[in-house]
Structure 1
Amino acid sequence: MENGDRHLKDVRPSGNELGQLLVSWRERLDPRRIPGIDTQRRRLRSGLTQQEVATLTGVSVTWYRKLEKGEPADFSDAFLQRLAMTLRLDETERGVLFQLAVGRTPEPTRLAVDTAVDESMQALLDTQLPNPAYVTNLWWDIVAHNDQQADWFPWIPYERNSMRWAFLYPEAREQLVNWRDDWANPFLAQIRVAIAHNPKSKELAQLRDDILSGNAEAAELWKANRTQVHPDGDIRRLRLPYHQREEVPVKIMALAPLRNTQLRFIVLMRNWTPRRP
């Protein structure tokens, strides 16, 4: 073998290219910026452990290790998408993850848009600073938001649907304080009402089915048959990396533009003061 051939052999990737990428992706993360990581108990170092990635993705560490070891398994799209968000992968990296794990390219990330969200509505969102503000469509895709919303909820580029994030991503339980009673129950009640008013919406039906099949506790809560139209005026609490995990109460202001009442204009007011009686 010529010297040049030996050099080429040395730089070729090993058989477990995906495993090497997964290790590099999790080791580049800052645990202080990842919800659900107890940085006070763990030895503070860069990167996440296999156990932490598995927990945040909602699988056993044994299941995650199969992927990192390059062992073949029936990895679902939902699992790989949650993993991509946990590791903060960009669109190119997400494509590599799917290609090496299951041998195909994933569906492109849906960039939710709505023709009713024009420059003037975006300007209105921006005037809500420093409060986070966003607009969702009928089936809760976030179609526009201001910069503060992206700072508080950095998952937006990876999962555009706020309901799917709340139910299908384990880190939501860490960030949505009193998840079951204050968030999950009201959210499911809103989905039920939306479907009742829009029974032909395939998107709403798919959202319901994805949540109930992907979250056993949500499926159990659904049986309560609760209904709620909107969260306007509700006071709920968040625990976000943006606030160093301090519990932050917010008052939800939910509005609808008259040009398209199926849109929801949501403002999370942190620095509000109740009026004295």
Structure 2
Amino acid sequence: MNHPTRLKALSTFLAAQRAKLTPQAVGIEPGLRRRTPGLRREEVAQLAGVSSTWYTWLEQGRDIKVSASVLEAVSAALRLNSDERKYLFALALDTGTGISPPLQEETTVISPSLRRILRELHTCPTIISNRHCQIVGWNEAASHVFMDFERIPTEKRNMIALLFERKEFKRLAGNWEQFVSEFLAIFRAYYGQYVDDEWYDTFLREMSATYPEFNPLWEKSRVSTAPEVLIEFRHAKAGKMHFHLTSLQVQGESDLRCSIYTPDADSSTESKLRKLMAIKTRAVPSD
């Protein structure tokens, strides 16, 4: 991410976080003449113990000097969680990982041990993706619940793009916006981490130009490296299914992520999935 783009991302993020907070949530009397959603800039500045002018410049994305201690104060004022704080620091201090080797130069063949884990998670649909959210592996259960990723060209297997492009996902997710927001939160965490990878800016421009509903969801500026949520699917053949999404980082140079959908123990999801998979067994696809 180049310097101007990084500062623009910082500006968008701060404004979005400020808009989420109400005066009452931070102990400020709202008053009668309030047209700004959430807090005003000067209110954030007051909470952080900095000048209103300095915070305004920071939120405007001006190229100013910032310190870790002041950013800590801003994080506290905006009630940022751990992942949001890391994202703020990466953008404001330019402390992201930076440019790493292009993905085509990294191995995209998952290890035998990871492939075995995919097989062992027989009734847990599991998807493995890289830092661009490109799908590089999946198991049989994922093919039954989501789609047959083998039929999608390798270069088109981007999870973020598929969520907006494929009608199957929109029909599947009981709350499509929540489903998408969890992946966008992961994507934003990567976006802040790899601050010099221009691929992200190109991808975001393409998504914004292609899908009108993308920007409103992206601009919510959620950040999460490992969301854990309960998701309801409405499968065309199996009916309602409830899964707990757990996202795990795979340690190693390839920077892979394992997204595991565990059937809710208090539902009939696992039995439905077993019946679904019994209809037609498939081999684990090779990547």
TM-score (norm 1): 0.52
2: CA distance between counterparts of 1:240 and 1:201? 37
1: CA distance between counterparts of 2:114 and 2:237? 25
Structure 2 unaligned blocks of 5 or more: 1-103, 268-287
Determine the structure 2 residue equivalent to 1:166.
163
Tell me if 1:236 matches 2:245. no
1: CA distance between counterparts of 2:221 and 2:126? 29
- Deviation of the 1:261 alpha carbon: 7.1
Q: Give the secondary structure class of the aligned counterpart of 1:256.
A: strand
Determine the structure 2 residue equivalent to 1:222.
218
- Deviation of the 1:155 alpha carbon: 4.2
Q: 2:241 aligns with which of 235, 248, 253?
A: 248
Determine the structure 1 residue equivalent to 2:126.
133
Structure 1 unaligned blocks of 5 or more: 1-110
- Deviation of the 1:115 alpha carbon: 4.4
C-alpha change, 1:152 and 1:190, in structure 2 (3 Å) is: same
Equivalent position amino acid for 1:183 in 2 = F
Q: Give the secondary structure class of the aligned counterpart of 2:201.
A: helix
CA contact (8 A) 1:254 1:267 kept: yes
C-alpha change, 1:239 and 1:230, in structure 2 (3 Å) is: same
5 Å-filtered alignment, 1:1-277, equals 114-115=107-108, 117-157=110-150, 158=152, 159-180=156-177, 182-231=178-227, 233-243=228-238, 246-260=239-253, 262-273=255-266
Q: Give the secondary structure class of the aligned counterpart of 1:205.
A: helix
Q: Which has the higher contact order (CA 8 A, sep 6+)?
A: 2
Determine the structure 1 residue equivalent to 2:22.
none
Equivalent position amino acid for 2:163 in 1 = A
CA contact (8 A) 1:168 1:211 kept: no
C-alpha change, 1:251 and 1:117, in structure 2 (3 Å) is: same
**Partner deviation per Cα, 1:137-183 (whole Å, 9 max, x = no partner):** 10111111111111222241314111111122233211111112x12
C-alpha change, 1:207 and 1:273, in structure 2 (3 Å) is: farther
Equivalent position amino acid for 1:208 in 2 = L
2: CA distance between counterparts of 1:121 and 1:210? 32
C-alpha change, 1:230 and 1:204, in structure 2 (3 Å) is: farther
CA contact (8 A) 1:141 1:160 kept: yes
2: CA distance between counterparts of 1:225 and 1:271? 28
Identity, % of aligned positions: 18
- Deviation of the 1:238 alpha carbon: 1.2
Q: Which moved further from structure 2: 120-129 or 213-222?
A: 213-222
CA contact (8 A) 1:256 1:263 kept: yes
2: CA distance between counterparts of 1:154 and 1:185? 20
Q: Give the secondary structure class of the aligned counterpart of 1:264.
A: strand
C-alpha change, 1:184 and 1:156, in structure 2 (3 Å) is: same
- Deviation of the 1:228 alpha carbon: 2.4
CA contact (8 A) 1:191 1:208 kept: no
**Partner deviation per Cα, 1:69-125 (whole Å, 9 max, x = no partner):** xxxxxxxxxxxxxxxxxxxxxxxxxxxxxxxxxxxxxxxxxx9x8446111110111
Equivalent position amino acid for 1:161 in 2 = N
TM-score (norm 2): 0.50
Equivalent position amino acid for 2:232 in 1 = R
CA contact (8 A) 1:114 1:143 kept: no
CA contact (8 A) 2:226 2:248 kept: no
CA contact (8 A) 2:107 2:254 kept: no
1: CA distance between counterparts of 2:181 and 2:246? 18
1: CA distance between counterparts of 2:259 and 2:265? 15
Equivalent position amino acid for 2:203 in 1 = L
